Each structure stands twice: as C-alpha cells, then as structure tokens.
C-alpha cells in the first residue's frame, strides 16, 4: 500500500503525532497493492462531501472514496477534536484512518463503533490499530560504558567502557542513526548521546561519578528513561581482568570478580538481571602486577589495536541482537 497525505497542518493543531511514522506503520500493516490519498479537511468541506455523496447534511469524521487509480480518504480533525482530546484524539485519528482504509478494501458495518463490538469490520479495525501502535512503540536501549572522567584516565584499561561507547558512536552514525551529540546531563551526572532510527532509540551514557560510584548515575538514568524491562533494555559495557586482551563475552548476570564499578551498579539496582559486555583487558603475561593498579595503567598503541578489534566485533554482535 502507498499512502500520501495532504493538508496535515490541520492535524498539527490538535496533535503532535509523528504522521510520517504512522503512515509507514499503516503501509506495513496493510499489504494490499493500492494507492491512497489521506486528505485532512475543514468541517465545511466534509459536510459538503457528506451531503453530495450520502445525502446526509451533517459534519462527519471520515469519508472514503474508492477510485480506479488512487483512492481517497477525507478526515476532519476539528470534528474529532470535539469529542477526543490529546492522546485519545491521536488514537482516534489512527482509528478513523484505518476505518477508512477498510471501507476501501470492501468492508462495511451496520452500526456505530462501540468497544468490544462484534461486527467483523470493527474487530479487524481494532486488531489493525493494535498492530500499528505496537509498530510505533520505540524500542529503547540504555548502553552504559564504565570508566573514570578526566584526561589522566583517558587511556586506562579501566576506561574500556568509555572507549567502547566512542567506537559505538561511530558505528551508529555509519548505520544512519541520528545523534543528538554528547552533552552533560546534570540529573544523573553523566555524559549522554542519544541516537534514533525508525522506532529504535539508543542512549549512550558515560557516568561521571567515577568508577566506584557508577550505580548512582545508572539508577537515576533508569528512572528518567522509564525502562520497562531491564533485562533487555539495559546493557553495561566494562573492562574485565578475567578475560585476555582482544577477547570479549556478552552475558547476562555474569560479572567479573572484584570489579567495584559493576558491583556498585548491581548494589544500587538491587539486581544483576541485565546484560553486560565484558571486554578483556588483561595482557600481564605472568607479570605480578596487582589488579587494582593494573587497571589504572594505560594501553599501549599495540594493545589498543587488539582492544578495538574486540570492541568492534562485540558491538556489531550487540546491534544485530538489538535489531
């Protein structure tokens, strides 16, 4: 189905619906090979059409006209707004659009729509509306990279999570996600960068609370973004001394031993039921260097090559699973 819209400025007076996204969802839900114009009109005009073609001298919400090439649906936003306000108005606009399409496809009804109506057309109408609403729900993901703020820590092994988000920023841009750019969010003391594409929203977050207090920022961010399922929507990316440099593991629940940043996140959230990308940073080769000292040592340029290769593989795999 191909849908074209006209006079959508009449709609914007009453709703901030992303009409382009809605049209794309409609075209996915209705696979029939037809072309449709959806035209928004004033009350005077739709009353004239209603009188001319149906002999009903009243304003109405929607009229459909099946034509040989491109069929037409006329919708009157002002009339609908008299009864339905705000969110209910937006959903009713979606409903009458679907209603008009079903008429074009040959469906008809005897009575007026009521909730739980058993008439076939209305049952199909509500099913299609549910499908459209599901398509319009943005998938939200919060990706947290652990590290320490400040130039002196920039190339530390403990900052592998920060480095991964910088690589991810480049990858998402290449995949045509639209970024907002990095900015400091005072509410949870973090740098954030938000990316959107179609119905996917990805927030990259670097806590500025220092590693051992990372959970403070993550907990506040979860509250702000109202994530519904932490096990699917929260991903923690961090360094891991239990894994050799150049390797990684993407796992649920499993965390490295003695990683204070990860432990702090788990303590503040009260759970370990979320995904984490564990980036191997250990290349001590038998050297007796304590872990707490080693993670604050810089990567060599050669080590960075191995780290970045592992990060890129991990991120490609992660994005594939998100989509």
Q: Show which residues are catalytic.
A: 158
List, in sequence order, every beta strand (DSSP E) within the chain.
2-6, 35-40, 62-65, 70-75, 139-145, 178-179, 183-185, 190-197, 200-207, 234-244, 248-252, 275-282
Token pair recorded at residue 319: 């994005």
Token pair recorded at residue 196: 């959107």
**Residues paired with residue 4 on neighbouring β-strands, in sequence order:** 37
- The sign one gets for the Cα dihedral 165, 168, 173, 178 is negative
DSSP output for 98-152: HHHHHHHTT---SS---TT--SHHHHHHHHHHHHHHHHHSPEEEEEEE----SGG
Are the C-beta atoms of 242 and 190 separated by less than 8 Å?
no
């Amino acid at each position: 189905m191909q849908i074209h819209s006209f006079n959508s400025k009449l709609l914007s007076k009453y709703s901030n619906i992303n009409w382009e996204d809605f049209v794309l969802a409609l075209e996915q839900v209705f696979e029939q090979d037809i072309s449709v114009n959806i035209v928004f009109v004033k009350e005077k005009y739709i009353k004239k059409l209603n009188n001319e073609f149906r002999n009903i001298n009243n304003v109405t919400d929607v009229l459909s006209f099946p034509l040989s090439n491109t069929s037409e649906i006329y919708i009157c936003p002002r009339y609908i707004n008299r009864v339905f306000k705000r969110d209910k108005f937006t959903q009713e606009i979606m409903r009458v659009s679907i209603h008009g399409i079903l008429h074009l496809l040959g469906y008809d009804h005897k009575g007026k729509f009521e909730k739980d109506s058993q008439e076939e057309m209305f049952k199909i109408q509500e099913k299609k509306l549910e499908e459209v609403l599901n398509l319009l729900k943005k998938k939200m993901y919060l990706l947290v990279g652990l590290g320490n703020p400040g130039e002196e820590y920039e190339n530390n092994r403990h900052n592998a999570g920060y480095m991964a988000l910088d690589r991810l920023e480049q990858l998402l841009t290449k995949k045509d996600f639209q970024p907002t750019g990095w900015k400091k969010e005072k509410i949870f003391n973090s740098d954030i960068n938000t990316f959107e594409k179609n119905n996917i929203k990805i927030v990259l977050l670097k806590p500025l609370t220092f590693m051992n207090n990372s959970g403070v920022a993550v907990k506040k961010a979860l509250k702000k973004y109202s994530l519904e399922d932490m096990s699917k929507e929260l991903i923690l990316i961090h360094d891991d001394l239990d894994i050799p440099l150049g390797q990684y593991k993407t796992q649920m629940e499993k965390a490295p031993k003695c990683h204070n940043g990860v432990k702090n996140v788990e303590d503040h959230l009260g759970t370990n039921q979320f995904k984490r990308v564990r980036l191997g940073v250990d290349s001590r080769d038998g050297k007796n260097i304590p872990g707490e000292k080693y993670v604050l040592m810089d990567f060599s340029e050669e080590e960075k090559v191995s780290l970045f290769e592992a990060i890129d593989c991990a991120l490609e795999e992660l994005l594939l699973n998100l989509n």
